[in-house]
Structure 1
């Protein structure tokens, strides 16, 4: 039975299939794998640990001579995601109706969903279609976790001032450390770099499954069509912006598109903002369910959109091989 070959025939299959399988299982039989011990630790709660190990393996492939490229790509991704998300949020505020909503969306939900990104999803997609330097760009993307960048946008719009304690330096370092450990090991010993390189691809389907066990399709129902709309906007607006910017800079455009998602931790952002400024309290509950629906929608839609973009590039004569994109024909 050719399981691996079958998965590889599906664009992004090593990530998409395990994620959707787990999401379906979590929606209809959520307690099936929540039986404790090794089973639950691996298949349900293992996403963070497996992603950390993936980042360590990825860090080992970083040559210090090329690390500046990774930082440049990470900064570009971070800035693009925030600028585009904040711009759409500003449009939402400018054209909101008398009920304070734009297309049924709470503007705070728009900013929270579109300026934040799912790091696990990014790592999985770039792990399949990106280079070692592309994967290392994740080291900067931890900055868009949580409500900090949402608050920056709101502050600029004059909606509220800065509030202390919304960004944790410790959390950022905690994300960065596995990459740094891997980078030290790989630069000290070429054999360690080769040894750890084998772990990168192998880990993708396992942490994709664990990510899927955190997705409940019921969130789409609860968030309604407006939450789905928010997810669609996040994928096609921020993802497409990243795609074309990376293409213009001569980088792998798929890496730019891979940022077009909403992270699960963004669900807590509206409540955090409302706690800091009571003027947002009236919209916090609606915004929370809309962001939750966007999280699920982008987790399903973004891999499919990336697969479409990959096929489009392949038809134009590009090929993806060993993490690099090259043009092989006219």
Structure 2
């Protein structure tokens, strides 16, 4: 049985198939794998650990002479994601009705969903379609986890004052450290770099499955059509913006599009903002449901959108990621 070959024929198959399989299990029988010990540790709770190990293996493939490229890509993605999400959110604030909604969407949900991204999904996608500099860019992308950049957008809009304490330098370092450890090991020992290179691809289906165990298809139904629309906006607006920005810089545009998702932790953002300002309390429950629907929608849709973009480039004679791999000097 050629499982690997079959998965590779599916766009993003190494990531999307395990993720959807796990999401199906979690939606229909959520307690099936939550039985404790090694089973739950690997298949349910292991996403963070497996992603951390993936980042360490990826870090080992980075030559110190090219680290600036990774930081540049990370900063560009971070800025693009935030700017596009903030602009759409501002438009929603300007056009919202008397109920504080725009097209049925809470503006705070738009900003929370579109300025935040699923780092695990990004890592999985660039693990298949990107190079080592694309993967290492994740160290900066972790900054958009949580409500910090949503708060910044709201402060700029004048909707609320700037809220302190939403950004933790320690949290940023904790994401960056596995990559740094990998970089040190890989640059000190070429054999260690080759040894750790195997983990860069082998770990993808395993942490994708663990990510899927955090997805419940019921969130789409509960969030309704508006939540699905929010997911579509996130994928096609922020993802497409990242695609063209990276293409303009002559970087792999697929890595730019891989940011078009909403992270699970964005679900908590509306409540965090409502706690900081009662002005947003009225729609906090609706916003939370809509963000949750966006999380599920983007997790399912983005890999297929990426697969479409890859096929589109290949028809033009562009090989992904070969034509965009940055050679070490």
Task: Give how far 1:207 is off.
Answer: 0.3
- Per the alignment, residue 294 of structure 2 pairs with 294
2:131 touches 2:321 (CA, 8 Å); kept in 1? Answer: no
- Per the alignment, residue 166 of structure 1 pairs with 166
- Per the alignment, residue 257 of structure 1 pairs with 257
Q: Please state whether the residue corresponding to 1:166 is helix, strand or coil.
A: coil
- Per the alignment, residue 55 of structure 2 pairs with 55
TM-score normalised to structure 2 length:
0.98
Runs of 4+ in 1 over 2 A off after TM superposition: 320-326
- Aligned ranges 1:138-177 → 2 under 5 Å: 138-177=138-177
2:116 touches 2:146 (CA, 8 Å); kept in 1? Answer: yes
How many residues align? The count is 326
Task: Give how far 1:323 is off.
Answer: 8.6
- Give the distance between the partners of 1:48 and 1:157, measured in 2 at CA: 34
Q: Please state whether the residue corresponding to 2:203 is helix, strand or coil.
A: helix
- Give the distance between the partners of 2:169 and 2:47, measured in 1 at CA: 22
Q: Deviation string for 1:132-188 (max 9, x for gaps)?
A: 111111110011000000000000000001111111111111111100110111111
Task: Give how far 1:321 is off.
Answer: 5.1
Q: Does the C-alpha gap of structure 1 residues 168 and 321 become closer, same or farther in structure 2, counting only changes over 3 Å?
A: closer
- Give the distance between the partners of 1:321 and 1:72, measured in 2 at CA: 18
2:90 touches 2:157 (CA, 8 Å); kept in 1? Answer: yes
1:11 touches 1:307 (CA, 8 Å); kept in 2? Answer: yes
1:129 touches 1:324 (CA, 8 Å); kept in 2? Answer: no
- Give the distance between the partners of 1:323 and 1:120, measured in 2 at CA: 24
- Per the alignment, residue 114 of structure 2 pairs with 114
- Give the distance between the partners of 2:155 and 2:317, measured in 1 at CA: 45
1:60 touches 1:183 (CA, 8 Å); kept in 2? Answer: yes
- Per the alignment, residue 227 of structure 2 pairs with 227
- Per the alignment, residue 272 of structure 2 pairs with 272
2:251 touches 2:324 (CA, 8 Å); kept in 1? Answer: no
- Per the alignment, residue 45 of structure 2 pairs with 45
Matched, 1:70 2:75: no
- Give the distance between the partners of 1:76 and 1:211, measured in 2 at CA: 25
Task: Give how far 1:52 is off.
Answer: 0.2
1:319 touches 1:325 (CA, 8 Å); kept in 2? Answer: no
Task: Give how far 1:44 is off.
Answer: 0.4
- Per the alignment, residue 310 of structure 1 pairs with 310
2:252 touches 2:321 (CA, 8 Å); kept in 1? Answer: no
- Give the distance between the partners of 1:11 and 1:110, measured in 2 at CA: 28
TM-score normalised to structure 1 length:
0.97
Ranges in structure 2 where 5+ consecutive residues have no aligned partner: none
Matched, 1:22 2:22: yes
Q: Does the C-alpha gap of structure 1 residues 321 and 278 become closer, same or farther in structure 2, counting only changes over 3 Å?
A: closer
Q: Deviation string for 1:11-39 (max 9, x for gaps)?
A: 11000100000000000011111111100
- Per the alignment, residue 188 of structure 1 pairs with 188
- Give the distance between the partners of 1:163 and 1:249, measured in 2 at CA: 34
- Aligned ranges 1:234-249 → 2 under 5 Å: 234-249=234-249
Q: Does the C-alpha gap of structure 1 residues 130 and 323 become closer, same or farther in structure 2, counting only changes over 3 Å?
A: farther
- Per the alignment, residue 88 of structure 2 pairs with 88
1:239 touches 1:258 (CA, 8 Å); kept in 2? Answer: yes
Task: Give how far 1:320 is off.
Answer: 2.4
